Structure 1
Amino acid sequence: MPYLASRLYGTPLLIARPKLEVILGVVARKFAGDTLATPPPSRTDSGLGGDLQVQDGIAILPILGTLVRRSSYIGAASGLTSYHEIEAMAEQAFADPQVRAVLLEIDSSGGEAGGVFDLAQRLRQLAQTSGKPLWAIADEVALSAAYAIACAADRLWLTRTAEVGSIGVVAVHIDESVADAKAGLNYTFLHAGAHKVDGHPHAPLPATVAADIQADIEQLYTQFIALVAGFRRLPPKAIRDTEARVYRGEAALQAGLADQIGTRAEAITALQRQLAMSAGRSLRTKAAALSAARTPPRSQPSPKEISMNDHNPVTPVDDAQEHTTPNSSPTPAQSPQTQPLDEAAITAQVEHRLRRQLAELTEIAAQAKRLGVTVDPAQALARGVTPDALRQSVLKQAAERDVAQDIVAEAPQQPQTKPQSVADSPLVKAAQAYGARQ
């Protein structure tokens, strides 16, 4: 209990008021001598806490329950999630080559101030260094310290009834002097250093000590505002003007504190779509670079139309080839192939081809899933795998799996009958009789 009290009283907190009231109420009952049942440690979705999950190349990182800098033996049972634990899971996810994006799944009313700003900056740094998208969804609560973490994401979703905000700082001081007097207790602190026992609970809080605590809160509040304003690209005044209000659903979008409303599944689908589009852009960039390297000499005209079967579009020749002198006119010998190419048309053709290929790859992936083979269509597109090649690969994997299952299958219980000889076949005997008559 002394450990828990030290984390609650006399220290700045980034936590929503309703959650703080619940915690203080429970702790006060404990201090009063009530016996409170301690639940068994749990790390399931129904409880608080959770483990990193990877779904179709997207790492889902849970940020649940009350947030603290370091958890202890009471962490799992009391629903605490530590900033160090979140950072370790994030580093694991961004370093995993199979992970292409990270989604923060947040359901927390906040917690301790110490360490949260460093964690938010670390998450943004990991995303930028790895080049992998970092998204977040408030499902159902991302308040105070939890919102500071959510702001590190490139895009913040929230469910229809979710709450975000509470951008503020709070500290609690408890005055036990009246209760001490009723109990016949009188505390005397012997100390060196004028501020050594500032804010102790066995006397009313002096005005000078209250001013010092308030100054510390204001400094943390300024840091909180700067962090949110920088990550959300909003003026600091707009964040300060929220006055730590809590915003739900559409109101959060209007305040600029979130980007989109949707379910967890919808957020994952949208993130997968962005990954596929990024893969397509990457492929177009590589194709353009390769095309530029293969530009034909000036004396050789380039075809205007690009075949959909071509692996690399042909870059048009320099416009100087196609220009005539000011006083001359085009001759009949000049064919449409020698005219300058329309770069917009080329880009449109390439994009059309990529969309068609992605659609085919996605359809093959759906068919493969029914065969028990996992396929990532966006990754296949980025690697330049053609639909035919992917289809053959899926069939081969499915066949190999079926053969393996046949090999380990149990032999039948009853022995099989001896195979019939070819000479005993009725067809063979009939053929022999017919030949004898001829």
Structure 2
Amino acid sequence: MNYPQIASRVLNTPLLLEPGYARVFFSALAPRLNILQLQDAEGQVSTGEKLRVDAASFNPSRDRERPYQLVDGAAILPVSGTLVHKYGHVKPYSGMTGYDGIIRRAAEAFGDPSVKGVMLDCDTPGGEVAGCFDTVAELRRLADLAGKPLWSLCYDMTCSAGMALASSANRRLITQTGHAGSVGVVMAHASYEEYLKDEGIKVTLIHSGAQKVEGNPYQDLSEEVLARFQTDTDALRQEFAQLVARYTGMSVEAVLATEAATYRGQAAIDIGFADQLVNGHEAVAEFTEYLSTQGRIITTGATMTQENLKPEASTAPPSTEQGQDDKANTNAERARVQGILQHAEAAERKQLGEHLAFNTDMSVEAAGAVLAAAPKDTSASLNADTALDRLMSNEDQPNLGEDAAAPTETQSKAQGIANSWAKATGAKIA
């Protein structure tokens, strides 16, 4: 194992890792890097033999590595283990998934004519900052460009960098035991100063530039350098929160208020990190059912219809006022949909009511006029098993004569829309 190379990637650099996983990770790495003592904000961290005792009940996530799957038009992309930059493997391998592999598979899936949508099957505590934000933006860009839905499944962890990837999805599913969140940043520094003193080794760093050797492992961090690292880490967390807020429809303030906490199941939905609670074994079927019945409503933060699949005009993070406006628009859209579905004229015209609610931006009043002019659904009472019913269902309905009362302008427009709907669906106009 090339431990110096590993150390260069995980020490003195921000990481997007779930806190519990970070403690285990650095504890396991400590003896290989001759680190004698570990501590974090919670205090001393066990290493070596103590780690083996403390971790005796730790059961790593089951091996979720599997080949690229295409299920009834749904491309399933496993995202498991630690997320790393420029990994070089197309699929998850050896407990890690590369951002480059995710994009490679996503690009192929969105470009495949047989693929109707893509689902990220996530079980990851997070990983490296490098490459993460670019991957999120590229996933959404690919989905928007292809005009295909991108969903994510938390089965059973989308934390930190994993939460960033999940935020790019148009809809986020989570299991009852799934954990989502941890929108924060962790950074570790290793100091060998005391160890070198005990060994009688003195290291002299010859450098040009006051900050050239900041964070080197041969010296303890000075208060000034520690403060600078903390400032950079806080700034990165702010950018992380803005990214999650932009794609989930949450406000930046709401994301920051979580203080990098993780949320399980329904709690993740309540906070805004997920949209729907599912059984993990049924999640793919849920997605493929949606793909086969396009037009259902999907909640994607600030937008509730498939309009969200169109490319965004701007990638700038929303302001507080914009977030409030988005929330108001969401509430108004939800009220419009409910108003149409619950309209008195929709009681016996369910199919047309759902069409007007989910596939148009028609107001409740206008939709009511269309519904009133449309025929009532007769499929429930029609017994197609009899020859007479089959014959009657194929009969053309008589046209009204010229003596009929002339329709008003509103009725004419409504009748026109109803006729177009009938033509598209094959329904008969009474």
Partner secondary structure for residue 97 of structure 1: coil
Which residue number in structure 1 is paired with residue 143 of structure 2?
Answer: 127
- The one-letter code matched in structure 2 to 1:9 is L
- 2-side partners of 1:218 and 1:224: how far apart? 10
Partner secondary structure for residue 185 of structure 1: coil
- The one-letter code matched in structure 2 to 1:334 is D
Q: Report deviation, 1:219.
A: 1.8
Partner secondary structure for residue 100 of structure 2: helix
1:230 to 238, 241, 246: 246
- 2-side partners of 1:125 and 1:171: how far apart? 30
Which residue number in structure 1 is paired with residue 338 of structure 2?
Answer: none
- The one-letter code matched in structure 2 to 1:53 is Q
Matched, 1:142 2:211: no
Partner secondary structure for residue 274 of structure 2: coil
Q: Report deviation, 1:347.
A: 7.0
Deviations 1:99-145, CA, capped at 9 Å, x for gaps: 00000000000000111111001111111111101000000000000
The verdict on how the C-alpha distance between 1:333 and 1:2 changes in structure 2, with shifts beyond 3 A counting, is closer
Which residue number in structure 1 is paired with residue 177 of structure 2?
Answer: 161
Q: Which region of structure 1 is more displaced relative to structure 2, 231-240 or 171-180?
A: 171-180
- The one-letter code matched in structure 2 to 1:66 is T
- 1-side partners of 2:230 and 2:130: how far apart? 16
Please give the residue correspondences for 1:218-297 in structure 2 after superposition, counting only pairs within 5 Å. 218-278=234-294
Deviations 1:312-361, CA, capped at 9 Å, x for gaps: x9xx9xxxxx9xxxxxxxxx95137988565475577568758xxxxxxx
Deviations 1:222-255, CA, capped at 9 Å, x for gaps: 1101111111111110011000001001111111
Which ranges of 4 or more aligned residues in structure 1 deviate by more than 3 Å?
A: 48-51, 75-78, 279-282, 304-310, 335-354
- The one-letter code matched in structure 2 to 1:150 is A
Q: Percent identity?
A: 33
Matched, 1:335 2:335: no
- 1-side partners of 2:181 and 2:237: how far apart? 13
Is the contact made by 2:16 and 2:128 (CA closer than 8 Å) also made in structure 1? yes
- 1-side partners of 2:63 and 2:176: how far apart? 22
Partner secondary structure for residue 66 of structure 1: strand
- 1-side partners of 2:234 and 2:402: how far apart? 79
Is the contact made by 1:106 and 1:136 (CA closer than 8 Å) also made in structure 2? yes
Is the contact made by 2:64 and 2:78 (CA closer than 8 Å) also made in structure 1? no
Q: Report deviation, 1:18.
A: 1.1
The verdict on how the C-alpha distance between 1:152 and 1:127 changes in structure 2, with shifts beyond 3 A counting, is same
- Aligned residue pairs total 308
Which residue number in structure 2 is paired with residue 297 of structure 1?
Answer: none
Is the contact made by 1:49 and 1:80 (CA closer than 8 Å) also made in structure 2? no
- 2-side partners of 1:231 and 1:46: how far apart? 29
Deviations 1:198-226, CA, capped at 9 Å, x for gaps: 10111110112112211221221111011
Which residue number in structure 2 is paired with residue 215 of structure 1?
Answer: 231
- 2-side partners of 1:72 and 1:182: how far apart? 41
Partner secondary structure for residue 263 of structure 2: strand
Is the contact made by 2:71 and 2:288 (CA closer than 8 Å) also made in structure 1? no
Partner secondary structure for residue 272 of structure 2: coil
Partner secondary structure for residue 253 of structure 2: helix
Which residue number in structure 1 is paired with residue 25 of structure 2?
Answer: 23
Q: Which region of structure 1 is more displaced relative to structure 2, 209-218 or 83-92?
A: 209-218
- 1-side partners of 2:271 and 2:100: how far apart? 31
Normalising by structure 2, we get a TM-score of 0.64
- The one-letter code matched in structure 1 to 2:25 is I
| Structure 2: stretches of 5+ with no match in the other structure | 36-47, 49-60, 298-305, 307-351, 356-373, 377-391
Partner secondary structure for residue 172 of structure 2: strand
Q: Report deviation, 1:274.
A: 2.5
Deviations 1:178-217, CA, capped at 9 Å, x for gaps: 1222222221111122111110111110112112211221
Which residue number in structure 1 is paired with residue 191 of structure 2?
Answer: 175
Partner secondary structure for residue 278 of structure 1: coil
Q: Report deviation, 1:76.
A: 6.7
- 2-side partners of 1:248 and 1:232: how far apart? 17
Q: Report deviation, 1:269.
A: 2.6
- 2-side partners of 1:204 and 1:253: how far apart? 42
Q: Which has the larger radius of gyration?
A: 1
1:206 to 222, 225, 229: 222
Which residue number in structure 2 is paired with residue 47 of structure 1?
Answer: 63
Deviations 1:363-385, CA, capped at 9 Å, x for gaps: xxxxxxxxxxxxxxxxxxxxxxx
Is the contact made by 1:143 and 1:164 (CA closer than 8 Å) also made in structure 2? yes
- 1-side partners of 2:168 and 2:113: how far apart? 22
The verdict on how the C-alpha distance between 1:76 and 1:266 changes in structure 2, with shifts beyond 3 A counting, is closer
